[in-house]
Amino acid sequence: MLSELDISAIIITIKLALISTSILIVIGTPLAWWLSQTRVKFKVVFEAIIALPLILPPTVLGFYLLMTLGKNGPIGRLLESFGGSSIAFTFSGLVVGSVIYSLPFVVQPLQNSFASIGKQPMEVAATLGASKLDRFFTVAIPLARSGFITAAVLGFAHTVGEFGVVLMIGGNIPGETGVLSIAIYDHVEAMEYGQAHLLAGGLLITSFLMLIFVYLFNRHFSIMRGSEK
């Protein structure tokens, strides 16, 4: 059955996914809104940057994080000059990595659903005297509800499925950075295929159920598509 380490890996993974998803919703919402409204010339550049983690191997991201956080890297040096310590091998480090890694999975569904609202509801609200902020919170956000559900579930699921980034910057510390995907990898490496099956099968079923949930709530599942009416 599940060992103590396996259980700690599951807890760490859920904690990481919850915190990362919350941070992503907070920074992803204004970002997605801006992208859906702006007519700035270089919009595609920002969209491309946000989409990068979709196509980059996670090891690329992990490698650069490891380098920038290290003693010779810019962030490592900065932290050291302030007397702080590096965030490599810490839970906070994993949160930073996950936020970058799962960014497109949160921003893209939000952007799509903001774009699909169209101008009309916002203009009607404006003629009724609603302020800009008021319109955003009482019109845009409720109308983009399915986008938020998609974004949250995908951000969560994608963080749970993270491997390459954690492998590079985690250090597999039990109860701190030892996550589920690494635990599965270790079981396979250690030839404990039974325990690997248990965790991998559990993850497979959970991921499947999460996606079923998304599809049920959102029949226009549209992560990869552009703006959609």
Partner 1 sequence: MWNAKLKALTLIVVYQFFFLNGALADEIKIAVASNFYPTMKELVKHFESITLNSDTTNNIVLISGSSGKHYAQILNGAPFDLFFSADKLRPNMLEKEEVFNNQSRFTYALGKLALWSSFNEYVDSDGQVLYTDDFRFLAIANPKIAPYGVASKETLTSMNLWQDMEEKLVRGENIAQTFQFAKSGNAKLGFVSYSQILSLNSSSEGSYWLVPQSMYQPIEQQAILLKDSSLGKDFLSFIKSNEALDIIKRNGYDLP
Q: What counts of helices (H) and strands (E) characterise the chain?
A: 12, 0
Q: Is there a contact between 164 and 58 (Cβ–Cβ < 8 Å)?
A: yes
Of these, 140, 168, 199, 214, which contacts partner 1 (CB under 8 A)? 168
CA of residue 25 relative to chain centroid, distance: 9
Of these, 51, 171, 197, 207, which contacts partner 1 (CB under 8 A)? 171
* Nearest-approach distance from CB 2 to partner 1, in angstroms: 16
Instruction: Report d(CA 116, CA 154) in Å as an integer.
Output: 19
State the amino acid at position 76 in one-letter form: G
The 3-state DSSP class for residue 225 equals: coil
Q: Using the rule CB under 8 A, is 197 a contact of partner 1?
A: no
The 3-state DSSP class for residue 177 equals: coil
Site track for partner 1 across 36-75, x = CB under 8 A: ------------------------------xx-xxxxx--
Instruction: Give the nearer residue to partner 1 in terms of CB position, either 73 or 202.
Output: 73
Angle at 210 between CA 25 and CA 222, to 5 degrees: 65
State the amino acid at position 27 in one-letter form: I
Q: Using the rule CB under 8 A, is 188 a contact of partner 1?
A: yes
* Nearest-approach distance from CB 207 to partner 1, in angstroms: 22
Size of the site for partner 1 (CB under 8 A): 26
Of these, 24, 88, 157, 184, which contacts partner 1 (CB under 8 A)? 88
| Tokens 């497109």 belong to residue | 104
Q: Which residues bind partner 1 (CB under 8 A)?
A: 66-67, 69-73, 76, 85-86, 88-89, 167-169, 171-173, 182, 185-186, 188-191, 193
